[in-house]
Structure 1
Amino acid sequence: MIEDLPAPPGPGRPKDPAKREAILAAAQSLFLNNGYEGSSMDAIATEAGVSKLTLYSHFKDKEALFAAAVKATCETRLPRKLFLLEEGRSIRQVLLELGQAFHELANSPESIGLHRVMVTMATQNPALSRMFYDAGPQLLLQDLEQLLGEAHAQGLLHVPAPAHAAEHFCSLLKGGVHFRLMIGYDDALDAAEACRHVDEVVTLFVRAYAPLSSH
């Protein structure tokens, strides 16, 4: 449900990026700790140390703020540079670095908590669930699809269906531990176990999508 909006602020004054960051940080904290419905715009403004007017000058409603918080989390943990094919870096090295960052994000307490919130909201607010998916997982898959498409074009991998391959890669990286974390059955892998898991996934993936000339 969208909360009532106050009158929009007058034009002319530029938005303060530091306040925007404070708002996003407060939103991330409250959404995770109190859930979506339990986090009001008033509470987020108070946590961020800004007025409600300032809050609404940056985000038109709570749904827009939620989507921005999800997107910001993904961009912080999975920066754009991880999706670039740069000279001097093999495709295996690119996938290892990306895989490690994705595995850490997907299985982090913050991500697990957010996914639990969305499972709760799935039947109550399916529009919000779609907004969450579009702002986070979908953007990640699109970036990964583009990366794999470029690797295919350069002959580094044979990936005729990069969208499917992107989903394969993410699913392999999550592994069984992600579901066990979701239901509180197990603890996260330690650093050594996580590195070994990502290395095994990348080895399998590169072998499965090796250029045809290397088969």
Structure 2
Amino acid sequence: MQSLEQNTSQPTVSYDAKAEQIVAAAREVFLELGYAATSMDQVAQQARVSKTTLYTRFPSKEELYTAVISAECERRGLRFQPEMFDGLPLRDILVQVGRRFVDLLWSDAAIRVHQAVVGEATRMPVAAQLYFQAGPEQGIANFIALFTRLNDRGLIATDDPAFVARQFLATMQGGAYCQLMLGLCAEPTEEERYAFVEKAVDLFLRGVAPATP
């Protein structure tokens, strides 16, 4: 098996229709079985492609898993460029990116993947590493870049944009997230998710200090 260092890079394959078909099938298999129990043969069968077609696009299970996590983040709008928000008021920017983050984080698929990764982490640490590198690590980097740009534009004032970005993401992990992770509540509606985001953003912007006269 190739080393983890070789397998954690983002796949360079272009996402043609066949590759998208494979990723969609792999998503379902990984969700059902987890990383450890999933085989490339099972993915090929689910995608209805030959193993040659599968391995031509994704030479290893590690690369395929990374592609699945990355594709889900891309689909949810979390692979954004910071400059795309130039010209918008600060609150509007934070609400937009907060909604994207919560839409992914609180989704049934994301909850199930996170639960599976945590369950497998001790006996299959490679799955946890791949998940972190393809998902959270990339997402954190994007938010750090965004808050750095906000600071450069004078919309926020901080000497540590990375800390502020991480605190913002931590704020978005409140609300129903803990209950969702434990299977104690149903997935909130879009209206409920977005109401939470707006309240969380307002608290983040104001803090809890009393208003000065």
- Please indicate, yes or no, whether the TM-score normalized by the shorter chain is above 0.5: yes
Q: CA separation in 2, counterparts of 1:135 and 1:80?
A: 11
**Structure 2 residue aligned with 1:62:** 61
CA drift at 1:182: 1.0
Q: How many residue pairs are counted as aligned between the two chains?
A: 198
Question: Residue 10 of structure 1 corresponds to which residue in structure 2?
Answer: none
- Given that residues 67 and 135 in structure 1 are in contact (C-alpha distance below 8 angstroms), is that contact kept between their aligned partners in structure 2? yes
1:85–1:94 CA contact under 8 A, matched in 2: no
Q: How many Å separate the matches in 2 of 1:121 and 1:166? A: 28
CA deviations over 1:69-115 (Å, ceiling 9, x no partner) = 10111111024447435343112111101101111110000000000
Distance 2:96 2:65 in 1: 28
Q: Aligned letter for 1:178?
A: Y
**Residue matched to 1:94:** 93
TM-score normalised over the length of structure 1: 0.85
Q: Is the 8 A contact 1:157 1:206 kept in 2?
A: no
Judging changes above 3 Å, is the alpha-carbon distance between structure 1 residues 62 and 81 closer, same or farther for their aligned structure 2 residues?
closer
Distance, in Å, in 2 between the alignment partners of 1:106 and 1:91 is: 22
CA distance in 1, matches of 2:153, 2:205: 15
The letter of the residue matching 1:162 is P
Question: Does the aligned pair in 2 maintain the 1:99–1:198 contact within 8 Å?
Answer: yes
CA–CA distance in 2 between the matches of 1:203 and 1:69? 33
SS at 1:174 equivalent:
coil
Match of 1:50 in 2: 49
1:31 alignment partner in structure 2: 30
TM-score under structure 2 normalisation? 0.85
Q: Deviating runs (4+, > 6 A) in structure 1? A: none
Rounded to whole Å, the distance in 2 between the matches of 1:92 and 1:194 is 17
Greater RCO (Cα-Cα under 8 Å, separation 6 or more): 2
**CA apart distance, 1:130:** 1.1
Is the CA contact 1:85–1:147 (under 8 Å) kept in the aligned structure 2?
Answer: no
1: CA distance between counterparts of 2:138 and 2:93?
18
Structure 1 residues not aligned, in runs of 5+: 4-13, 209-215
2:77 aligned partner? 78
**Mean Cα deviation higher: 144-153 or 36-45:** 36-45
- State how far apart, in whole Å, the 2-side matches of 1:60 and 1:140 are: 25
Determine helix, strand or coil for the equivalent of 1:78. Answer: coil
Instruction: Report if the CA contact (8 A) 2:25-2:43 is conserved.
Output: yes
1:116 pairs with 2:143: no
The alignment's C-alpha RMSD in Å is 2.1
Alignment match, 2:174: 175
d(CA) in 2 for partners of 1:88, 1:15: 32
Offset at 1:121? Answer: 1.1
CA distance in structure 1 between the aligned counterparts of 2:180 and 2:190, rounded to whole angstroms: 16
Q: CA deviation at 1:207?
A: 2.7
In structure 2, the CA distance between the partners of 1:147 and 1:194, relative to structure 1 (3 Å rule), is same
Q: Which amino acid aligns with 2:166?
A: E
Equivalent residue runs for 1:86-165 within 5 Å:
86-165=85-164
**Aligned partner letter, 2:110:** S
Percent identity between the two aligned chains? 34
CA distance in 1, matches of 2:169, 2:25: 28
CA contact (8 A) 1:148 1:159 kept: no
Q: Residue 74 and residue 117 in structure 1: after superposition, are their counterparts in 2 closer, same or farther (change >3 A)? A: same
SS of residue matched to 1:175: coil
Does the 8 Å contact 1:82/1:98 carry over to 2?
no
